[in-house]
Amino acid sequence: MLFALGAILAAAAELPLGGWIQIPILSLIWWQIRKHSSPSFKSTFLLGLSFGLGYFVLGLWWIFISLHDIGGMNVILSCIAVFLLSGLLAIFFSCATLSLKTSRGKFFPGLVLAASWVVTEYFRGIVFTGFPWMGLGETQVYGPFAPVAPYLGGLGCTFFVVLASWQLLSLRVHFKTTTLFLVCAIGLSQVLSLWSFTKPRGEPLTVELIQGNFAQSLVFKPEGMLQQIAFYKSVMIDSKADLVVSPETALPWPETNLPTGTLEDLQDFASKNSRFLLFGVLGRHFNPADGREFSNRAIGLSSGNPPYRYDKSHLVPFGEFIPPGFRWFVNAFSVPLSDFSRGSQNQPLFLINREGQLPLYAAITICYEDVFGNELAARLRNSEESANLFINMTNLAWFGDSQAPAQQLRLSQLRSLETGLPALRATNTGITAVLGPDGTVLAELPKFTQGVLKTTVQSYSGKTPYVIWGNIPILSLSCLLLILGFVRQRRI
């Protein structure tokens, strides 16, 4: 039953009002755990594990596509890998549900559960380099607690989702007080949206986001690489926009080995036409600390500025670096995988200095770097220049026609909500989109089509409370509640 409810909770995230729908489903899950749990911690842990397995198996099934359909891994081994990853992530859910054994009362158990959920989700985002994908907070971009994000981030949204879902359990017995609490919580959340911490800066920027729609299998063949390079080069040179962005590894060769004249022609076009070009390549970035030579790089070319380079900092395990002891797993693939060098977390921003206009700075993220809200907030907080927009470059062709693109789009929307900055997303197969500072999708291209999204984006300046403080406020509150819960339990 709990496995099925976990799967239903994951499926609800994909619905238009998923952030609202998940709350009563979570309430039903808490009711089932409380109903079937025995006095032992083991029972509660296993019930939480069952719910988490259902949630992650359905929510992350697209990893099977990259392992089996594209990577050529044995179907049984691919299924086992997805199941084991789901089980590992479900353990964090199990640990959070254990708090139900340590608190008593009508209202306080909900506070402790919400606090424990925040703390375990925080650790899920940092343990083994972190994988906070499919958090409850990201679905709130279409939910009642989205306005909390600029203040307390995605973890703050998660806190109120769990607390509200727990309070629903009391609706039948304490209808008036429960209804009053839910109305006040949602109402207060909406009131928070009245304050804005960022404001427009300069004139709108004309942009073109290129979606090549190249099959991942082509990247492993020389003729496919040349076809891809020729396409992106041609479209960038034909552009009329101020800023042109191509996806991650749009030019899928090391920059020093690209076809003769590729970078020179692009630089010449940018210089003569006052354009700003941003595209992905394999960079040369020898790191003497780890002996790795290549990086997942974004290159920016413009007139009057030296070439800009951003090397991806938060690498994907197995896809971009091989964890110690897992070479055997990588050898099970029939495609070449990289062992990239890691870029610094605090790299310069991309300067967009149009003639006669205020200079703008873009914070670049590659692939799933926009999953990590606290890291991006720290980058903005520590940067010498103030960022005015995000640019994400990614390639989700590895995951076929699945919900992975929509999931990452929601994560990008949450990042815009947290920071109050607009975002540009240039992807290979989708979803290529422009996001407003409140996370609203302003324009997008259909998935699995080759095209160019031509539009404008208004840059913003300023810092939200979340950028200034990061996760410190919500983690401090959660830890305090957990300590109080422990003290109350000891007194019983």
The tens digit of pLDDT for each residue in 145-188 reads 999 999 999 999 999 999 999 999 888 777 888 888 889 989 99
Structural domains of the chain sorted by starting position, each given as residue range(s) with its CATH number in brackets: 2-196+470-491 (no CATH), 199-463 (3.60.110.10)
Note the pLDDT of residue 74: 82
Q: Which residues does 81 contact at the CB level (< 8 Å), separation at least 6?
A: 63, 67, 73, 329
pLDDT of residue 121: 95
Q: 362 with 391: CB under 8 angstroms?
A: yes
Give the per-residue pLDDT at 291: 62
Instruction: Give kind and range of the element (H or E) at residue 285.
Output: strand 276-287
Token pair 């103030």: residue: 386
For 152, other C-beta atoms within 10 Å of its C-beta total 27
Q: How far apart, in whole angstroms, are the C-alpha atoms of residue 384 and residue 119?
A: 30
Output DSSP code: residue 146: G
Contacts with 364 (C-beta within 8 Å, 6 or more apart), sequence order: 278, 298, 310, 347, 349, 350, 391, 392, 393
Token pair 């789009």 is at which residue? Answer: 409
Share of the chain above pLDDT 90, in %: 59
Instruction: Confirm if 152 and 84 have CB atoms less than 8 A apart.
Output: no
Which of 444, 418, 419 is closest to 433 using CA atoms? 444
List active site positions: 248, 312, 367
- Give the tens place of pLDDT for each residue, 411-446: 999 999 999 999 999 999 989 999 999 999 999 999
Residue with tokens 């006052």: 274
Neighbours of 490 (CB within 10 A): 8
Q: Indicate the pTM of the whole model.
A: 0.91
Amino acid at position 299, single letter: I
- Looking at residue 253, its pLDDT comes to 84
Q: Which of 486, 363, 479, 489 is nearest to 424 (CA)?
A: 363
Rounded Cα distance between 226 and 251, Å, is: 9
Question: How far is it, in rounded angstroms, from Cα 31 to Cα 22?
Answer: 14
Is residue 466 classed as helix, strand or coil in its secondary structure? helix
What per-residue confidence (pLDDT) applies to 486?
77
Strand partners, 232: none
Place of tokens 């539009």: 455
Beta strands 243-245 and 205-211 are parallel
Q: What's the CA gap between 106 and 101, in Å, rounded?
A: 14
Look-up: residue for tokens 């719910």? 51
- Residues of the chain with confidence (pLDDT) below 50: none
- Give the burial string for 217-252 (b: 16+ CB within 10 Å, else e): ebbeeeebbeebbebbbebbbebebbbbbbbbbbbb
